Amino acid sequence: MCVPTLLTALAGAGGTATAAGAAAGAATAGAGIGGALQTIGLLASVGGSFVQGIQAKKTAEAQADALEVQRQEEARLNAVEDYRTRKKMRAQTAQQRAGFAARGVSAGSPTAIYLGQTAAQELAFASQSVRQRGAATDTELSNSARLVRAQGKQSMIRGMFSGAGRLLRGAPEVWPELLA
């Protein structure tokens, strides 16, 4: 027999323990422990929902930060690729000019000018192609980061509402005096 039950039983009959007093004391003590455990369970459930939402938001923020780092790295790689493309095209143009000079073709001849303009257009096209791919990748990664952040916020709000719903559903069972 536990101490609260014994004290309740002793106080209930003026110092003499009766079977009815002991049973009533045991029921009161059992309800007190059960109620306390039910309250702890409810609070753990509510707190768990809140923590789950907060952790989902933190995870989403970490993922969004990783996407931002990837976006910055892609931008750097794109700049290097654009530089290399331009350098390669300039080298090809220089080779073409050297070939014309070796054959005795004047740099001011219509053929040389036309081929120079064509090479310049190709250079611009190749460079623009590299930059457009980079811009598309940048946009995609930025949008992905925004989406992940929004999902994190949504998860946090869902956790908060879930916890509040659990509290509202469980409160009348744990604290019936609230309904009185």
| Greater model confidence, 9 or 47 | 47
Structural domain contains residue 21: no
Structural domain contains residue 8: no
* pLDDT tier at 72, thresholds 50, 70, 90: very high
Structural domain contains residue 16: no
Structural domain contains residue 23: no
3-state secondary structure (DSSP) of residue 178: helix
Structural domain contains residue 94: yes
Q: Does the pLDDT at position 53 exceed 70? A: yes
**By the 8 A CB rule, do 152 and 61 touch?**
yes
Structural domain contains residue 108: yes
- Number of domains observed in the structure of the chain: 1
Structural domain contains residue 15: no
Range of the structural domain that residue 158 is part of: 31-178
Structural domain contains residue 134: yes
Whole-model pTM: value is 0.66
The H-assigned helical ranges of the chain are 3-12, 19-103, 110-174
